[in-house]
Amino acid sequence: MAKIELKNKALELRKLGKSYSQIKKELKVSKGSLSLWLRQYPLAKEQMRKLRDFSEIRIEKYRLTMQAKREKRFDDYYKQEKAKYLPLSKKELFIAGLFLYWGEGTKDLKYPVALYNTNPQVIKFGLVWYKNALNLPTSKIKIQLHLYSDMNIQNEMRYWSKELQIPLAQFAKPYIKKSKKADINRKGSFGHGTCGLLVNDVRLKEQIMAALKAIADYYENRI
């Protein structure tokens, strides 16, 4: 059985109230894989009471306790970091956007300023960077989607239009990949395809790439 099929089967068994040990025994998969696949699916108290083996109940309770501790710790870190760094100054926003572009943007000077990602929050940050750090009007920004052949194209365009508050009139014709989302969507990363923010501005592209080169050159020999 393929790994994605094992994961889906494990989720089905979990929703039926099966414990880690029961699922492991039935599917012949490691406890580590189950922990990764099922971390968002703890058993309800009623389901735990139905388990026959008391040791399994203790394991589930321990897992829930540790999960609650991790969530509390993360929430505390979140509040600390938010108070420490936000809001960003315009200079800080510009630098943060530069590094995002370094990782996710097109680099070749022959092509437009273009930032692509599958995560709506990343794209929204990129849009804030375009508008507030690069001083670009929304009307100058075009949207291009990379979608898969089994997607509902119009629904995905409407989704991104609503998320970004950019009218469909500013969307370029989407690029449709021959492959299917179902074939590669194993980590939930391609739910709405890949979204790109495009701006045709040669001088702006040169300025962005020059800034990145200056940073790269400055730190190249400081390791």
Q: What is the pLDDT of residues 167-182, one digit of tens each?
A: 999 999 999 988 776 6
pLDDT at 35: 73
CA atoms within 13 A on the CB side of 80: 6
Same domain, 177 and 130: yes
Number of compact structural domains in the chain: 2
Same domain, 105 and 209: yes
- Chain segment 139-158, per-residue pLDDT in tens: 999 999 999 988 899 999 99
Same domain, 206 and 152: yes
In this model, does residue 101 exceed pLDDT 90? yes
Average pLDDT, the chain: 86
Is pTM beyond 0.75? Reply is no
Domain CATH for 200: 3.30.1330
Query: Which of 25, 50, 84 corresponds to the end of one domain?
Result: 84
Same domain, 130 and 210: yes
Same domain, 176 and 147: yes
The residue-averaged pLDDT of 82-88 equals: 96
Query: Which of 31, 65, 84 corresponds to the end of one domain?
Result: 84
Residues whose CB is less than 8 angstroms from the CB of residue 116 and which lie 6 or more positions away in sequence, other chains included: 104, 105, 106, 146, 194, 195, 196, 197
- Chain segment 7-34, per-residue pLDDT in tens: 787 778 777 767 777 777 777 787 777 7
Same domain, 20 and 122: no
* Residue linked to tokens 């022959």: 110
Q: What domain range includes position 122? A: 90-220
- Chain segment 191-213, per-residue pLDDT in tens: 899 999 999 999 999 999 999 99
- The side-by-side arrangement of strands in the sheet containing 113-117 is 113-117, 194-199, 142-148, 175-177
